[in-house]
């Protein structure tokens, strides 16, 4: 009985059912739409009609940031995703610090659910925001409780409808853009810094491909598939997003579209039946596909942390039939509920999530230089093995990209929000120190050769 319980608490026993098709479906579902529908209006508020340039720049940031993750994902199966990378590169205390920051950064679950409710209210004005957001969060929480394979199949269907709806926005919108004023009136009113700030914020929209490393434990062939999925998803989505941003900022005056959802522009450029399809098949599915995909991958780092003793082993309980970490999913469900019920603004949720995530990414990027020492045998046979100078260059480019994004947003935050971020960081440091000293932490190697 004891052995069986122990077995149910390890990432080694997750179902490895995700092939390239499923990984692409989750990646595109995670990235496509949610950032545009949740954040494009805020980006226009930062930099006017040049928001499309901000999106392309965000993709440059993400591609630089992705370099170390591609090297890592192409070298070994990291069963705990980001958590396993952090612990492997920097040691167990950094892995403990990671857990606190990672958990707090996923307040972004609320952002998707709240945006879903706002877009639905655009079609049905009588719909209340909070109950609908709670219902949306609940549906995909339950979907992922029933197993990742079913969630991945649902994602494929939703992705197809979503892509069609967003293509309608581009096709109907590009002919109506006022190209004569696209680069003059309300173009980058805040100057280069406005474009950079927009780019940093919208990295949350273009970065989702990197998150697929957290599905390494459930992928059939992660070292081959994940690097490709990260690159293709990031580049394709950035181009798609830039076209949408050009329409969103170039049809109506910026004074009307700044900090507003896309349905305002969609209503102006589309016939009513197409508009309804866009909102239902585009906006609503974009947000739900991201919510579904996020629930699919966020549990793996916490599950591995339970295996290592950072959290009580019971929290890492895996359902024997569905192979899903039930208690961890419940925890993230609560994390998503809190901002919804307390009325936090989407911009505040997004800024917090971006800063916290990039603090973690910076450590992993800079730590990539340690791969040859930490995992020499796997590095020797890695498809991404390179000279020390090239490895250092990839590490520095990725790390500096993360640091720039953190600083740009942090120094534009309100004082209360900045204080909260500092407190979360301090809590992460204290937790790592105290829990490790307690003797409860017994890290196991959570990466492996295929």
pLDDT, position 387:
94
Q: Is 444 exposed, middle or buried (0-12, 13-18, 19+ CB in 10 A)?
A: middle
**Section 331-352 average pLDDT:** 79
Which of helix, strand or coil describes residue 143? helix
Beta bridge partner(s), residue 78:
447
pLDDT, position 38:
67
Read off the pLDDT band of 135 (50, 70, 90): very high
Read off the pLDDT band of 155 (50, 70, 90): low
Read off the pLDDT band of 116 (50, 70, 90): confident
Read off the pLDDT band of 173 (50, 70, 90): very high
Read off the pLDDT band of 350 (50, 70, 90): low
pLDDT, position 430:
96
**Section 365-374 average pLDDT:** 95
Read off the pLDDT band of 121 (50, 70, 90): confident
Among 155-159, 241-245, 319-323, name the most confident range: 241-245
* Helices and strands (H, E) in the chain, number of each type: 22, 2
User: Per-residue b/e over 281-320, b at no fewer than 16 CB within 10 Å?
Assistant: bbbbbbbbbbbbbbbbbbbbbbbbbbbbbbbeeebbbbee
What the chain holds in terms of domains, given with CATH numbers, is 17-443 (1.20.1740.10)
**Section 206-224 average pLDDT:** 86
C-alpha gyration radius of the chain: 21
Structure confidence by residue, pLDDT tens digits, 3-28: 444 444 466 767 788 888 888 887 87
User: What is the rounded end-to-end Cα distance, in angstroms, of the chain?
Assistant: 29
pLDDT, position 286:
74
List own/partner pairs for 305-309 with CB under 8 A and 24 or more apart: 305/80, 305/83, 305/95, 305/96, 305/99, 306/9, 307/9, 307/10, 307/11, 307/80, 307/444, 307/446, 308/87, 308/92, 308/95, 308/441, 308/442, 308/443, 308/444, 308/446, 309/440, 309/441, 309/442, 309/443
Mean pLDDT for the chain overall:
85
């Amino acid at each position: 009985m004891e052995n069986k319980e122990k077995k149910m608490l390890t990432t080694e026993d997750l179902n490895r059912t995700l092939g390239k098709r499923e990984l692409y479906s989750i990646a595109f579902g995670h990235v496509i739409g949610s950032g545009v529908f949740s954040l494009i209006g805020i980006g226009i508020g930062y930099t006017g009609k040049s928001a499309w340039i901000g999106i392309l720049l965000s993709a440059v940031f993400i591609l630089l940031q992705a370099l170390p993750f591609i090297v890592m994902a192409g070298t070994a199966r990291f069963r705990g995703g980001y958590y396993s990378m952090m612990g492997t590169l920097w040691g167990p205390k950094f892995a403990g610090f990671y857990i606190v920051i990672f958990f707090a950064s996923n307040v972004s679950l609320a952002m998707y659910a709240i945006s879903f409710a706002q877009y639905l209210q655009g079609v049905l004005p009588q719909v209340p925001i909070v109950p609908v957001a709670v219902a949306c969060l609940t549906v995909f929480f339950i979907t992922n409780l029933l197993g990742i394979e079913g969630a991945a199949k649902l994602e494929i269907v939703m992705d197809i409808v979503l892509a069609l709806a967003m293509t309608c926005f581009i096709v109907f919108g590009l002919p109506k853009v006022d190209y004569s004023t696209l680069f003059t009136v309300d173009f980058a009113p805040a100057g280069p810094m406005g474009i950079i700030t927009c780019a940093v914020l919208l990295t949350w929209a273009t970065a989702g491909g990197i998150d697929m490393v957290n599905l390494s434990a459930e992928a059939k062939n992660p070292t081959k598939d994940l690097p490709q999925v990260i690159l293709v998803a990031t580049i394709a989505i950035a181009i798609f997003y830039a076209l949408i941003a050009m329409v969103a900022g170039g049809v109506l005056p910026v004074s009307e579209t700044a900090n507003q959802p896309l349905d305002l522009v969609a209503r102006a450029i589309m016939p009513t039946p197409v508009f309804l399809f866009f909102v239902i098949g585009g906006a609503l599915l974009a947000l739900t596909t991201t919510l579904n995909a996020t629930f699919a991958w966020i549990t793996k780092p916490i599950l591995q942390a339970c295996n290592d003793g950072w959290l009580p082993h019971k929290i890492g309980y895996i359902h024997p039939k569905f192979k899903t970490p039930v208690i961890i999913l419940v925890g993230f469900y609560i994390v998503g509920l809190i901002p919804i019920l307390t009325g936090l603004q989407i911009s505040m949720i997004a800024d917090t999530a971006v800063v916290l995530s990039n603090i973690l990414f910076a450590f992993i990027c800079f730590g990539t230089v340690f791969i040859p020492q930490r995992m020499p045998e796997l590095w020797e046979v890695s498809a991404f093995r390179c000279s020390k100078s090239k490895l250092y260059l990839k590490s520095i480019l990725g790390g500096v990209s993360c640091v720039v994004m953190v600083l740009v947003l942090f120094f534009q935050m309100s004082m209360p929000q900045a204080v909260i971020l500092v407190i979360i960081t301090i809590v992460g440091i204290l937790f790592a120190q105290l829990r490790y000293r307690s003797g409860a932490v017994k890290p196991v190697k959570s990466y492996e050769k295929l």
